[in-house]
């Protein structure tokens, strides 16, 4: 049976080398479902790598348009590890957030796809009123080219498992502010956005 250590599972594999097989321990990126509920409404289910779940929930609710700011999220009740509901997060939303049976933006479980899958219509993608980035970007192109290797060097779980997505938030000078890893690329992004939301950094500003 795999032994779970937070975001990583340890399992046994058979290695073949020079005609000889050897049993070895190996690391795998963990993946478990997570459901978000508010009262009697299920807000969404996602398959994620456990860890930073508060940020994932906050980012998910924000990017899906269920909440529009930190003030809409009153509280989150995270489950205990040994609880029968260990993969269920109960959130309390501000009374101004009106939920209906169709509030959950994804109509089925989200796996490791981009996060767009599961939308009921293209209109839902355009409803958020997102704006294009400023045309005159104030970033140095050489500095931007240095960000991917900085991100890779900071991927602890990927370094041990060899299979995981990551998203990061960098400052205007290329300083790494936060990095999150997850089996789902959209979850990694939601974790970063959730970190910014819970830290009072949305709209984004310098630290």
Q: What's the CA gap between 141 and 151, in Å, rounded?
A: 16
Q: Which helix (H) or strand (E) holds 197?
A: helix 185-198
Whether 114 is catalytic is: yes
Extract the tokens encoding 133: 């980035």
User: In sequence order, what are the residues at sequence separation of 6 or more whose Cβ sits closer than 8 angstroms to the Cβ of residue 127?
Assistant: 65
Dihedral of CA atoms 192, 78, 95, 201 in degrees, nearest 10, equals -20
The residue among 131, 37, 114 whose CA lies nearest residue 78 is 37
The residue among 11, 29, 65 whose CA lies nearest residue 182 is 29
Q: Which of 114, 116, 120, 153 is catalytic?
A: 114
Cα–Cα separations (whole angstroms), residue 68 to 17, 52, 87, 123: 55, 20, 24, 18
Cis peptide bond upstream of 154, omega within 30:
no
Q: What's the CA gap between 161 and 156, in Å, rounded?
A: 9
Q: Which residues are marked as active site?
A: 114
């Amino acid at each position: 049976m795999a032994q779970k250590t937070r975001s990583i599972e340890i399992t046994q594999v058979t290695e073949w080398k020079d005609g000889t097989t050897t049993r070895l321990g190996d690391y795998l990126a963990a993946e478990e479902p997570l459901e978000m509920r508010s009262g009697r409404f299920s807000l969404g289910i996602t398959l994620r790598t456990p860890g930073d779940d508060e940020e994932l929930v906050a980012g998910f609710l924000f990017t899906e348009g269920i909440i529009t700011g930190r003030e809409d999220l009153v509280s989150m009740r995270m489950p205990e590890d040994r609880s029968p509901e260990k993969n269920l997060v109960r959130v309390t939303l501000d009374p101004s957030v009106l939920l209906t049976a169709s509030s959950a933006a994804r109509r089925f479980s989200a796996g490791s796809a981009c996060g767009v899958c599961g939308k009921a219509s293209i209109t839902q993608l355009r409803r958020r009123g997102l704006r294009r980035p400023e045309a005159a970007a104030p970033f140095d192109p050489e500095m931007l080219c240095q960000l991917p290797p900085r991100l890779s060097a900071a991927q602890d779980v990927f370094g041990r498992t060899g299979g995981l997505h990551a998203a990061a938030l960098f400052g205007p000078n290329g300083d790494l502010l936060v990095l999150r890893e997850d089996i789902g690329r959209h979850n990694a992004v939601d974790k970063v956005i959730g970190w910014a939301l819970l830290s009072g950094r949305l709209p984004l500003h310098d630290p």
